[in-house]
Amino acid sequence: MKTMFTSFILLLAILISPQINAQDYSFEDFVGTWNGTISSQSFEPYEDPITMIIEPDGFYTETSGHLMPTIYPNTQECDFDEESNRMHWWYLNLVYAGQYFYQHFFYEVVYFQNDTLEMHYNFWDDPEPHPEVGTLILVRQTTVSVAENLPDRAPQKELIRVLDLNGRERPADTRGELLIFQFSDGTVEKKFIL
């Protein structure tokens, strides 16, 4: 009986505790320009390049066409729910008889480190995301600062290696993947070759 009571208390604690997957991110962490891919393995599979710009006021634009309106431009907005760890995208999809109908997408953050972000599609309140329905892999566009006291003639930089987002070496002419080019002078370039 004691074991059964302890099991019941443990189960109850799990059910009423806050979500374990919540992270310490805020909407401001996602503001900026991002490059990468958006893909889906279900319905009509695709893997398309994407450039996404997220503004501080929640307005966003993206180049793939998968998360943006076609009929009512400039109606798209996004926000981040810290409790569920999900980014919410929406736009005006239809106006019928004076009624406004919005298209909503939820993507759960599954990886966010070193300006690299991976999000998986999630329905309204599923406990687990669905990467087969949609996956966003993005790298934040950053500016490289230049040292103030450079000599008149900088040494020529040489390509050391090319890596994909998983850290595997790739050929420099690989197409359709976001690649990281590392050079001998310490600079790094992120490129997506079509």
pLDDT in tens, 55-97: 999 999 999 989 988 888 899 999 999 999 999 999 999 999 9
Q: Which residues of 29-63 are buried (b: 16+ CB within 10 A; e: fewer)?
A: ebbbebbbbbbbeeeeeeeebbebebeeebebebe
Q: Which residues of 105-120 are buried (b: 16+ CB within 10 A; e: fewer)?
A: bbbbbbebeeebbbbb
Which residue do the tokens 């997408």 mark?
105
pTM (2 d.p.): 0.63
- Reported as a single tens digit per residue, the pLDDT across 102-138 is 999 999 999 999 899 999 999 877 889 999 999 999 9
- Reported as a single tens digit per residue, the pLDDT across 153-194 is 556 788 888 888 777 888 988 888 888 888 877 787 888 876
CA distance 160 to 139: 21
